[in-house]
Amino acid sequence: MATAKTATTTASRAAAKPSTRLDVPKTYKLFIGGAFPRSESGRVTEVTDARGRFVANVAKASRKDAREAVRAARKAQPGWAGATAYNRGQVLYRVAEVLEGRKAQFVDELQKTEGLTAARAAKQVEAAIDLWVWHAGWTDKIAQIGGNANPVAGPYFNLSVPEPTGVVAIVAPQAQSLLGLTSVVAPALVTGNTVVVVPGGAGLSAISLGEVLATSDLPGGVVNILPGDAAELAPWLAGHADVNALDLTGAGELDWVELEQLAADTLKRVIRPVAGPAPETPQRILALTETKTVWHTKSRL
Amino acid sequence: MTFLDYAPAPESTSILDLRQEYGLFIGGEWRPGGGTSFASVSPSTERQIATFASADEGDVDAAVAAARTAYRQTWGPMSGRDRGKYLFRIARILQERARELAVAESLDNGKPIKETRDADIPLVAQWFFHCAGWADKLDWVGLGADPQPHGVAAQVIPWNFPLLMLSWKVAPALAAGNTVVLKPAETTPLTAMLFAEICEQAGLPAGVVNLITGAGETGAALVRHPDVDKVAFTGSTAVGREIAKALAGTEKKLTLELGGKGANIVFDDAPLDQAIEGIVNGIFFNQGQVCCAGSRLLVQESIHDAVMDRLKERMSTLRLGDPLDKNTDVGAINSTEQLERITRLVDAGIAEGGEAWSPACELPKEGYWFAPTVVTGVEASSTIAREEIFGPVLSVLTFRTPDEAIAKANNTPYGLSAGIWSDKGSRVLAVADKLRAGVVWTNTFNKFDPASPFGGYKESGYGREGGRQGMQAYLKGGN
């Protein structure tokens, strides 16, 4: 009670007098393997608001950063896929919880970088939170939608289950950057894929989402976020031999046909661009899975 | 080791009523092709069976146009129930003509009659029967209510299971409401032509199934045709890559069933008698010309010698020879090109330190033959442990722990099939979980069923054939 009272008093004082306190601005870096390194290239992108005022220097990922990110994603993949579905569900729900608690920060960032009103920005953040909750609930159900027992003509117990395809490289939607990013990352995580994603927008809310992920018990490397030039990074990811799927949802403005051709060299699963965030369907989750069918022999009694 | 000599027991070819030459089956009519006709020979005798038309670009165009017309005018508007009834009819006629088809398939492909009679052709009929029942139940394939067919499907299939691969392609496509243009492999076009006759007997509307013969260029023209909505290909990973590249940026849907380098893992507690049969079936079924063959034997080190002794003893009883002989276990290699490829890869394996062994077996003078072969002392990095041989050649590697077995099994860009032999149920389940392969057989191998999805991880392709997942590949939308 005492603490709450003090806080109220401080707040009312702040409102009464013009603040003299100097802000502590955030350094927006990459998110790779659970850590927040700068780009090895030393490059940054200067982000300004709608009126041209300086907001931040966001680290700009390079080809080598992309390679590191794929390595981190591959390393994390068996562990994430091997976690129980209940566990994955709780982690994804935790993301929603932590995001809810940091709503104000995301509203602020989206206002600055997407020129939104506070109300519109809040609406996007809330939609993103709800989308994490929706996906959290799928982890222990999707196998019942995508898998089945198969009545084969013989003495076999035969079962098909959807399994994660592996490492998924994603070009996230440009518009509505937080919601768009959630709409492509969350479905990949549901079944146990790990992700390397080039976010859309200025990258601020993407890196802040990385902070949310890092404090939500998501193992390091499960999601790797590379703010930067998608046109520069995507070809390396599309051609990378240790990437299993390429999600081009947000690549509509890029030369995505070339990216799909590059992906063909290693027969990656490719999701072609769509307008806006990815659709909210179980099919979208299953698109990043492989059906594994196991035939178990039944003995003669 | 001795065993009784068998008297020859060849299946009669008198059941066949083949034509001298076959044309293209387009829009319900037989017509000549624009390209130069080619012959198909029997791989066991090198004797010509018949000549077949070669479809050029104009013919591909005509076939796609016929399929489009049938899609618009007859097959598209038809009720699912009636589509299903046509497919049931086809399934029944396939059963009625099963013996004839088995003989034709053995003659054209070189595989033993016991396989075509007991595996290929029964599965073909079962595939149509299974898919027939889906035609009026598409709301339940898992895409929501009222899913829609893609339209015209272009399908290109390989020579290892000619009619079976046709059934895997044609049956689900038609059940979903698509019309098809299918190109069988250049060396095995015969049973596809007999299938055209079966479509005629079933009264299938003209243009619903179009069959065009030809070489690789015909297939390339077909999958690239602008009026094709859906492409399904089974064949080599190299060609699969080319197709994926050619289709990039188009609206076409694609499923690929490509190569493999399947691991067959034998643990020290495996039921050995069954395991030996499974190893033999895994690599010598269809002369090993199987994309999901168990071509890498991973045997636990402690039982390596015992397994090798018993395997060699079992291999000594395999009877190689006339594919039409009912006693034959190992038939002919499909073509001289394939025989050269197998020989080249085995030579490379020996040059890299592998030790090859084959039972004493006399190869017929005519035809294309390769004795069942096992290569021991193979390293994970050896050519024959990495490249798909597509022949009766087993590469043997060893392991000590389950983790090592899993790591070695997954150490390949392919991911189509795997086998596990162990009497310990909990271990089987744990290992199956960690194998990155689309089909895992435990204490069995090379089993197929239309209700069971089949297809690969990684560079073995994408999409599934069989079951609900197989039907989804031929549908879109749904509410």
Instruction: CATH number of the domain at A189, please.
Output: 3.40.605.10
CB-based contact (8 Å) between A255 and chain B?
no
A183 domain-assigned: yes
Mean pLDDT for B381-393 is: 96
A69 DSSP assignment: H
The answer to whether the beta carbons of residues B74 and B85 sit under 8 Å apart is no
A8 domain-assigned: no
A203 domain-assigned: yes
Q: Which residues pair with B31 in a beta bridge?
A: B24
Is the Cβ pair B244, A267 closer than 8 Å? yes
A17 domain-assigned: no
The answer to whether the beta carbons of residues B269 and B422 sit under 8 Å apart is yes
**Beta strand pairing call for B152-156 and A156-164:** unpaired
Amino acid code (one letter) for B221 = A
Q: Tell me what pLDDT residue A2 has.
A: 40
Q: Tell me what pLDDT residue A3 has.
A: 42
Q: Which positions of B are catalytic?
A: 257, 291
Domain carrying residue A38: 27-297
A20 domain-assigned: no
Is the Cβ pair A267, B451 closer than 8 Å? no
CB-based contact (8 Å) between A144 and chain B?
no
Tell me the pLDDT tens digit for each residue of B80-89. Answer: 999 999 999 9
A19 domain-assigned: no
Tell me the pLDDT tens digit for each residue of B336-380. Answer: 999 999 999 999 999 999 999 999 989 999 999 999 999 999 999
Beta-strand ranges (E) seen in chain A are 44-48, 54-59, 148-149, 156-164, 167-171, 194-198, 223-225, 245-247, 269-271, 289-297
Q: What is the greatest pairwise CA distance in chain B? A: 65
Q: Tell me what pLDDT residue B5 has.
A: 78
* Most B-contacting residue of A77, A142, A294, A299 (CB-CB within 10 A), to test interface: A294
Q: What is the greatest pairwise CA distance in chain A? A: 86
A291 Cα to chain B: minimum distance (Å)? 6
* Most B-contacting residue of A74, A296, A298, A299 (CB-CB within 10 A), to test interface: A296
Higher local confidence (pLDDT), B64 or A17: B64
Report the alpha-carbon distance of residue B300 to residue B409 in Å, rounded: 13
Report ipTM (2 d.p.): 0.96
Q: Tell me what pLDDT residue A4 has.
A: 43
A22 domain-assigned: no
A288 Cα to chain B: minimum distance (Å)? 11
> What is the number of domains present in chain A?
1
Q: Tell me what pLDDT residue B86 has.
A: 98
CB-based contact (8 Å) between A150 and chain B?
yes
Residue identified by tokens 């033959």 is B369
Q: A5 by DSSP, 3-state: which?
A: helix
By C-alpha distance, the chain B residue nearest A273 is B249
Using a pLDDT cut of 90, give the percent of chain B over it.
98
Q: A118 by DSSP, 3-state: which?
A: helix
- CA of residue B146 relative to chain centroid, distance: 31
Per-residue pLDDT band at B153 (split at 50, 70, 90):
very high
Name the average pLDDT for chain B: 97
Per-residue pLDDT band at B3 (split at 50, 70, 90):
low
A15 domain-assigned: no
User: What residue ranges of chain A have pLDDT lower than 70?
Assistant: 1-17
Tell me the pLDDT tens digit for each residue of B25-53. Answer: 999 999 999 999 999 999 999 999 999 99
Two structure tokens written together for A112: 């600055």
